A and B are shown apart, each in its own frame.
Chain A
Amino acid sequence: MLQEESDLSLVIAQIVQKLKGSNLYAQLERQAWACLQRPEIRLESLKEDIKEFFKISGWEKKLQNAVYSELNVVSNPCTQEAEAGGFLYPLPSHPSAPPEHLKEPLVYMRKAQGSWEKRILKSLNSMCTELSIPLARKRPVGEQKELLNKWNEMGTDEPDLSLFRPVYAPKDFLEVLINLRNPNYENGDSLSFRTHLGLIQVPLKVKDIPELKECFVELGLTTGQLGIDDSTQVPPELFENEHVRIGQKVLVQQDSAAAQQYIRQGSPTALRAELWALILNISSQPEDILYYEQLKTNVIQHDLLVDSLIYKDVKLTASNDDYYFVFEDYLYQVLLCFSRDTSVLGHFAYNSASPPKSYIRGKLGLEEYAVFYPPNGVIPFHGFSMYVAPLCFLYHEPYKLYQIFREMYVRFFFRLHSISSHPSGIVSLCLLFETLLQTYLPQLFYHLREIGAQPLRISFKWMVRAFSGYLATDQLLLLWDRILGYNSLEILAVLAAAVFAFRAVNLMEVTSLAAAEAVLADLSTLKVMPLLQIFLFATVT
C-alpha cells in the first residue's frame, strides 16, 4: 500500500510539473484572476470558491482531461496493475531511474534500435551524397513565392522523384526484427511444445485469448457494438439510437475519460471527429492555429531532403488509393509541416528511438553544431503518409487535421516502427500475432510455415500501417476507435490473427507464399468488428 501511495505521489508530482509548463496552466491562472471580480467569490473562502467556479465553468473538466491525457501517454490500461488498481496506473519512473529506462528498459532492445537508426541515417546520408542534394537548404525568394501560391495544390507539382528511394520499407524493418535476440535468453536447441515457431524470437510477454477477452471486455458478444449492431438487420432502437444519445451527452460534458470508455463500443460517424479530438485532448486554440501557420512558413522558407521522400511516398501510396486520392494535397500540407515541428521531439522521452543528429557542414562531432534532422526527428518510410490519410475523412481544416495527426503519432504510431519491449510496440504485436496463430490455429500456422509462407511476412505490413490502405475506410475508422478506446495497439495483432482465421479454409489449400499473399491481398470487403468478436469470443479454444 505504501509503495503504491508513494508511486502515486510521484506520478502526481510529475504530472503537475509537466502541466505547469503548458498553456492550460496559464489559462487557469488567468481565469482565477479574472473570477475574483465575481460576486460569489469571497475572501474568507477564496480557495473553495475558486474551485467551485472552476467546476461550474468547465475549467476543472479541462484540467481533468489534461491530466488524463498525460496518464494515457505512458500507461497501458490492459495491464494487470490496472486490473488490480481498478484505474489507470502509469509506469512510474523512479527518480533515480536513468531516462533511457523510460525510453526502453531492456538493453538489447535499445542496442538494436540504435543500430537500426544508424543504418537508416547512413542510407539517408548516402542518398544525399549520391544525388548531391543538401539535407536542407534555404529556398530562394522566387521559389518561396511559387510554393506559397501552390500551397493548396502541391499535388500538381511534378518534381523529378525518380532518383529518390524510400529510406526503408516495412519489409526491411521486419528483417531487423527477425534477427532480434535476447543475449540472456537460452531456450536450448531441442524443440518442445513451448518452442515458438514464428519469425520473432524474443521472449516478451504477450496476452493469450482469455487475457485479451478480459482486456477487451466491451467487445464481447453481449455488448452492443457499432460495426455490428448498427447493421441493416438490427433495428436501431435496440442499441444504436441509445448509443448515439450517450455519445452526444459525453460530448456535451467534454469528459475525456468518459469519451474513451464510450468509444470502445465504436463511435457514430457524425460524432467521431469531436470524440477523437476530445480523447486526444485537442482543442484548437488560436495559439495552435498560429503554430501551424508558423510551421507552414518554415516549409515555405526551407526545403528539406525529407520533403522529397514525403512527396514520393504520397505519390506512391495515397495518390493511388481509391479512398484517399482526393486528399492528396492535404497530406503534403500536414506531412511537410510535421517534419519541421520540433515539439515532436518531446515524444522521444518515451520512444525507444532517438532523433538522428546531423552536424553543420564542417563541424562534424562538435555538439554545439549538432541539429536534429529532420527537425522533428522522424524519418518517413514507405507508407508513412497512410497514417494521415484516413484522418482526412474527419477533419478538413488543415490545422485541425495536423494537430490530430501529430497527437496520434506521438501516442500510437511511433510504436509501430521502433524497436521496444512495450506491449503496444511492433515487436510485441508481431509476437502476439504469431503466438495467437500458433496457439489457436496450429494446423494453419504449421501448414503455412511448411510452404514457406510465414504468416508474419504477410501480416506485418498491415500492422505497421495500422491497416490503413488495406481496410475500407469506414471499417478502419471503427478499428481506430478501439485503438483510442483501449489506448493500445494490441487490437491490430488480434485483427491480423482474426483475418487469418477467417480465410483459413482457403489458406489451407495454398502451396506457396505467393498464393497465400493472393488469398490475403484484398481486405477491403472485411467487416472488422464481427471478425474480432468471433475470434475473441466465439471461437472454441
Chain B
Amino acid sequence: MAGRVKWVTDIEKSVLINNFEKRGWVQVTENEDWNFYWMSVQTIRNVFSVETGYRLSDDQIVNHFPNHYELTRKDLMVKNIKRYRKELEKEGSPLAEKDENGKYLYLDFVPVTYMLPADYNLFVEEFRKSPSSTWIMKPCGKAQGKGIFLINKLSQIKKWSRDSKTSSFVSQSTKEAYVISLYINNPLLIGGRKFDLRLYVLVSTYRPLRCYMYKLGFCRFCTVKYTPSTSELDNMFVHLTNVAIQKHGDDYNHIHGGKWTVNNLRLYLESTRGREVTSKLFDEIHWIIVQSLKAVAPVMNNDKHCFECYGYDIIIDDKLKPWLIEVNASPSLTSSTANDRILKYNLINDTLNIAVPNGEIPDCKWNKSPPKEVLGNYEILYDEELAQGDGAERELRSRPGQSVGPRAGRSRDSGRNVLTTWK
C-alpha cells in the first residue's frame, strides 16, 4: 500500500502549495525523505553538481533536468540550434534545406544571434551589412527583462569589443556574457500594440522525446503603442512585453493584466486573416518548439527522475512568421490577475497529473506514458516513440492547426501528433 507523497519546495507560491495539499500530500523538509521536490533553478544546480554526489532514489522526482540550461540559457540555446542545423545539413536531411539566399527554409526560427564578447567581430561584420538595423542585447543568465536594452549603433556596445582598450581595466569576470540578436522591429501588432506569446511545454523525457503543449497559453501586450522610431528605443514599455516590466507602466491594468488567451488570438487572426494562414502559423509554432527540443535532446541529461515545464516565449512578425525568443526553465508562478491565478493553478495541476501519475508515490522507472484522460489542458505535442512507430502513415493523417484551439483532441489516435509539415 503506497504511503502519501512527501513533497518539498523552495518556491513559496500558493498555486504550487494548494495543488500539493489538495492531493493530500505531506510537506517535509529537504533533509528528510522526500518523493517530490519542486526546485528553483539554483537548487537543481546543487543537487546534480558533481561535488555533492547526490543520488536520487527510484521514488524521487524533481521538476528540472540537470542541464536544462542547454535550452534555457539564451547563448546555449542558440549554440545548440546552430549545431543541430549543421548536423542535419551534413547528413543531407530535407529539413535542412535552404533557399536561394542561404536561409534555412524550415529551421530559420531564431533571429540572427551572436555571443558577446566571443563573437564580437562576427557580429560587427553582420552589423555593417545593414547598419540601420536594430539589435537587442540580453544578458545570458537573467530573466524578467532585466538588463535588456536595444542598440542601433556600434558605439553603444563598445564595452564588449574584444579589442576595446577599456577591457584591460575591466576584469574578465565582470564582463558578463550577453547575446545580441537582430531585433524583430516588425512585430505583428494588434490594436497597434506589440505582444508576445507565452506557451507552456511539458517534457517528460528527452530520449525518446515526449512533450506536451498546454492549450491555454497567453499573449502579453505592451501597454504603450508600438513604434519602431529610434527615439523610443529606450522606452522599455514599448518594446519589452515582460509583465515584470509592463506592470510598472502608467497604463497597466490589474484586471486583465494586458493578457489575452491564445484562443482570442486565434479567433482574431482567423476572423481578420483567414483560416489557412492562421492554421499555418500555429503549425509553425508547434514545429519550432519541437525542433528546439530535438536540438537539445542529444546533449540533455535524460535523467529518469526529471520532468520539466518550460515557458516558451514566441514573437510573431507582421508576415505571420513566429520567432523563438527564449525558453524559460522557471516560468513565473506569480499571478498578476485573478484569471492568471486560475490558469497557473490549473497548469500545475495538469502538470502534476502527468508527472506523478495518480498522485501516488512515484516510481521513476515507469514508462512515462500517461493515459489520455489525465492530460487535462495539455495535449501531446510530439511523441517520438509513437511517431517512429508508424513512419509514413503519419503524413496522411495530418490536419492543420489541430493541436491547439477548439479542435484539440479531435484526432482519434491519442498519441499522434497531427502537424502537417512533419516528415
Supposing A320-B253, A321-B256 touch, asked if A153 and B275 sit within 8 A by C-beta, the answer is: no
A233 to B412, CA, bound (A): 10
Say yes or no: A325 contacts B253, CB within 8 Å.
Answer: yes
Among B253, B260, B272, B274, the residue within 8 A (CB) of A319 is B253
B272 to A: closest C-beta gap in Å: 6
Q: Which residues of A contact B407 (CB under 8 A)?
A: 232
Interface string of B252-264 (1 = CB under 8 A from A): 0101101110011
**Whole-angstrom CA separation of A351 from B140 in the bound complex:** 64
Q: Contacts of B394 on A, CB cut-off 8 Å?
A: none
Give the CA-CA distance A395 to B406 in the complex, in Å: 22
Is B87 interfacial (CB 8 A cutoff)? no
For chain B residues 253-290, which have a beta carbon within 8 Å of chain A?
253, 255-256, 258-260, 263-264, 267-268, 270-272, 274-275, 278
A residues near B244, Cβ cutoff 8 Å: none
Task: Write the A456-477 contact mask toward B (1 if CB under 8 angstroms, else 0).
Answer: 0000000000000000011000
Q: Are A393 and B271 in contact (CB-based, < 8 A)?
A: yes
Q: Tell whether, in the assembled complex, residue A231 and residue B192 are in contact, meaning their CB atoms are under 8 Å apart.
A: no
A270 sits at the interface (CB 8 A): yes
| Given A232-B407, A273-B271, A473-B264, also A152-B253 (CB < 8 A) | no
Residue B251 CB within 8 A of the other chain: yes
B316 to chain A, nearest CB (A): 14
Q: How far is the CA of A152 from the CA of B227 in the complex (A)?
A: 12
Decide: B272 and A320 in contact? CB cutoff 8 A. Answer: no
B225 contacts A by Cβ under 8 Å: yes
Q: Which residues of A contact B95 (CB under 8 A)?
A: none
Contact B267 A153 (CB under 8 A): no
Residues of B within 8 A of A323 (CB): 260, 264
Q: Which B residues are CB-close (under 8 A) to A395?
A: 272
Q: Are B225 and A232 in contact (CB under 8 A)?
A: no
How big is the A interface, by class? Answer: 20 to 34
Measured CB to CB, the nearest residue on chain B to A392 is: B191
Digit string of B225-262 for contact with A (CB within 8 Å is 1, else 0)?
A: 10000000000000000000000000101011011100
Q: Do residues B408 and A156 form an inter-chain contact, with CB atoms below 8 A?
A: no
Rounded to whole angstroms, the CA-CA distance of A153 and B225 in the bound complex is 7
The answer on a CB contact under 8 Å between A156 and B224 is yes
Which of A230, A269, A326 is the one whose CB lies under 8 Å from B193?
A326
Which stretch from A42-50, A100-108, A327-335, A434-442 is at the chain B interface? Answer: A327-335
A326 partner residues in chain B, CB cutoff 8 A: 190-191, 193, 221, 260
Does B339 reach chain A (CB closer than 8 Å)? yes
A270 touching B267, Cβ below 8 Å: no
Residue of B nearest to A320 (CB): B255
A268 CB-CB contact with B under 8 Å: yes
Which of A235, A268, A326 has most chain B Cβ within 10 Å? A326
Q: How far is the CA of A270 from the CA of B274 in the complex (A)?
A: 5
How far apart are the CA atoms of A320 and B254 in the complex, in Å?
9
Among A341-362, those with CB < 8 Å from B are none
A230 CB to closest chain B CB (Å) equals 7
Cβ-based interface call for B410 (8 A): yes
Find out whether the CB atom of A272 lies under 8 angstroms from the CB atom of B271: yes
* B145 lies within 8 A of chain A by Cβ: no
Q: Answer whether residue A197 sits at the interface, using C-beta atoms and an 8 A cutoff.
A: no
Partner pick for B275 among A270, A320, A328, A396, CB 8 A cutoff: A270
Contact bitstring B298-311, A, C-beta under 8 A = 1, else 0: 00000000000000
Q: How far is the CA of A386 from the CA of B407 in the complex (A)?
A: 29
**A287 at interface, CB cutoff 8 A:** no
Q: Hey, which chain A residues are within 8 Å of B255, CB to CB?
A: 320, 322
List residues of chain A with CB within 8 A of the CB of B193: 326
Asked if A520 is at the interface (CB within 8 A of a chain B CB), the reply is no
Q: Is A394 an interface residue (CB 8 A)?
A: yes
Bound complex: CA A321 to CA B261 (Å): 13
**Interface residues as binary, A147-172 with B (CB distance below 8 Å gives 1, 0 otherwise):** 00000110110000000000000000
Query: Residues of B contacting A396 with CB < 8 Å?
Result: 272
Min CB–CB distance A402 → chain B (angstroms)? 16
A319 and B257 CA atoms in complex are apart in Å by 11
Determine whether the beta carbon of B406 is less than 8 Å from that of A322. Answer: no
Q: Contacts A393-B271, A394-B271 given: A232-B406 contact, CB under 8 Å? A: yes
Judging by beta carbons under 8 Å apart, are A329 and B406 in contact? no
Which residues of A are found within 8 Å of B274, using beta-carbon distances? Answer: 270
Say whether, besides A270-B270, A393-B268, A156 and B191 are in contact (CB < 8 Å): no
Contact A156 B253 (CB under 8 A): no
Give B400 Cβ to nearest chain A Cβ, in Å: 12
Q: Are A329 and B191 touching (Cβ within 8 A)?
A: yes
Q: A288: shortest Cβ distance to chain B, in Å? A: 19
Q: Are A322 and B224 in contact (CB under 8 A)?
A: no
- Interface flag for B409 (CB, 8 Å): yes
A294-324 at interface with B (beta carbon < 8 Å): 319-323
Q: How far is the CA of A156 from the CA of B253 in the complex (A)?
A: 12
Cβ-defined contact, A330 with B271, below 8 A: no
Contacts of B225 in A (CB 8 A): 152-153, 156, 329
Q: Which residue of A lies closest to B221 (CB)?
A: A326
Inter-chain contact B271/A232, CB cutoff 8 Å: no
B192 touches A473 (CB 8 A): no
Query: Is B271 a contact partner of A269 (Cβ separation < 8 A)?
Result: yes
Q: How far is the CB of B287 from chain A (nearest CB, A)?
A: 22
Contact A394 B272 (CB under 8 A): yes
B409-A152 in contact (CB<8A):
no
> Are A322 and B253 neighbours in the complex by a CB distance under 8 Å?
no
Cross-chain contact B191 with A328 (CB below 8 angstroms): yes
How distant is the Cα of A393 from the Cα of B268 in the complex, in angstroms?
A: 5
How far, in angstroms, from A231 to B408 measured CA to CA in the complex?
10
Query: B251 contacts which chain A residues (CB < 8 A)?
Result: 155-156
Contact B256 A322 (CB under 8 A): yes
Residues of chain B lying within 8 A (CB to CB) of residue A230: 406
Give min CB distance, A269 to chain B, whole Å. 4
Q: Which of A275-298 contact B (CB under 8 A)?
A: none
User: Contacts of B258 on A, CB cut-off 8 Å?
Assistant: 325
Contacts of A473 in B (CB 8 A): 264, 267
Closest to A327 in B: B191
Of B190, B259, B260, B267, the contact of A269 (CB 8 Å cutoff):
B267
Cα-based distance from A325 to B409 in the complex (angstroms): 30
- Return the chain A residue nearest B225 by Cβ: A153
Alpha-carbon distance between A232 and B264 when the two chains are bound, in angstroms? 18
CA distance A69 to B40 in the complex (A): 63
Taking A152-B192, A152-B225, A273-B272 as contacts, is the C-beta distance between A474 and B256 under 8 angstroms?
no
- Contact status of A329 and B192, CB under 8 A, knowing A232-B407, A321-B256, A322-B339: yes
Q: Residues of A contacting B264 with CB < 8 Å?
A: 323, 473
Residues of B within 8 A of A272 (CB): 271
A319: nearest residue on chain B (CB-CB)? B253
CB atoms of A269 and B270 under 8 A apart = yes
In the bound assembly, the distance between CA atoms of A327 and B253 in angstroms comes to 14
Q: Which residues of B contact A392 (CB under 8 A)?
A: 191
- In the bound assembly, the distance between CA atoms of A232 and B405 in angstroms comes to 10
Complex: chain A residue closest to B257, CB-CB? A322
The complex places the Cα of A392 from the Cα of B406 at a distance, in Å, of 21
A473 to B268, CA, bound (A): 10
Whether A270 and B271, one on each chain, are in contact in the complex, defined by CB atoms closer than 8 angstroms, is yes
Report B-chain residues with C-beta under 8 Å of the C-beta of A232: 406-410
Q: Which of B190, B192, B271 has the most CB of A within 10 A?
A: B271
What would 15 A/B residue contacts be, using CB atoms closer than 8 Å? A156-B224, A156-B251, A230-B406, A231-B406, A232-B406, A269-B267, A270-B270, A319-B253, A320-B253, A322-B339, A323-B260, A329-B192, A393-B272, A396-B272, A474-B267
9 smallest A-B Cβ distances: which pairs?
A326-B191, A270-B275, A269-B270, A153-B225, A322-B256, A320-B255, A232-B410, A270-B274, A327-B191
Known: A320-B256, A329-B225. 8 other contacts (CB 8 A): A232-B407, A232-B410, A269-B267, A270-B275, A270-B278, A326-B221, A327-B191, A394-B271
By a beta-carbon cutoff of 8 Å, the part of chain A in contact with chain B is 152-153, 155-156, 230-233, 235, 268-270, 272-273, 319-323, 325-330, 392-396, 473-474
